[in-house]
Amino acid sequence: MNLLTGEVSRALFGDGAMPASVRRLVDLAQSAPPNQREALLWTARASAPESLAVCYLLYKHYATQRNLVEAERAARAGLAEAARQAGLDADWKRVLPRQAAFDRPGPARFWLFTLKALAFLRLRAGGGHEARAMLARLRVLDPGDSVGGDVVAALADAAFPRRGTRGGP
């Protein structure tokens, strides 16, 4: 399934239309080899820096390539752009539940999803403390776990058991 079409796309990105020229770059990137995909996606990002879908594709591309440093950089850029569009604080630690409608498609929902992705990337890179802090903020903002933060939290618990819990030191 193409992420940029259908219900999944609308749930994350809202109904923001992508310019045709950027859409062509994204379509080319989907079937290109990884090094060409990277160049096409960065060209798309330069052409439409406000496109949350392109931000997503960049961090997904790098994560798939196991380039966690670049995946995190792209995810942080996407988080910042979504925060700007949703009117959220630039510091994820200061975002509060009533600042945006996180349950509706659009920039705030994408911000929430990207915070989860960033927690996963931090976890994979060995940043368990920051990942846990992100997951704690995610639980406050998404108590119903609509973006799947509990899955990443379970991975964090397995990788970095908390002191005083079963399996912990």
DSSP string, 70-104: HHHHHHHHHHHHHHHHHT--SSGGG--GGGS-TTS
Q: Report the pLDDT value the prediction gives residue 166, as an integer from 0 to 100.
A: 43
Phi, psi of 33, rounded to the nearest 5 degrees: -65, 160
Number of C-beta neighbours around residue 91 at 10 A:
8
Q: pLDDT band at 167, cuts 50/70/90? A: very low
Please give the Cα distance from 79 to 87 (Å, whole number).
12
Determine the pLDDT at residue 18.
Answer: 77
Q: What's the pLDDT score for residue 19?
A: 84
Quote the mean pLDDT of the chain: 86
The CA distances from residue 125 to 5, 45, 119, in Å, are 31, 25, 10
Question: If you average pLDDT over residues 52-63, what whole number do you get?
Answer: 92
Query: In the numeric block, which tokens belong to residue 51?
Result: 């496109």
Predicted confidence (pLDDT) per residue in 93-142, tens digit? 999 998 999 988 889 999 999 999 999 999 999 888 999 999 999 999 99
Structural contact between residues 149 and 142, judged by C-beta atoms closer than 8 angstroms: yes
Q: For helices 6-13 and 52-64, what crossing angle results, to 10°?
A: 110
Mean pLDDT of the 10-15 span: 56
* Region for 144 from its dihedrals, namely left if φ exceeds 0, alpha if ψ lies in -120 to 50, beta otherwise: alpha
Q: At the topology level of CATH, where does 6-159 sit?
A: 1.25.40
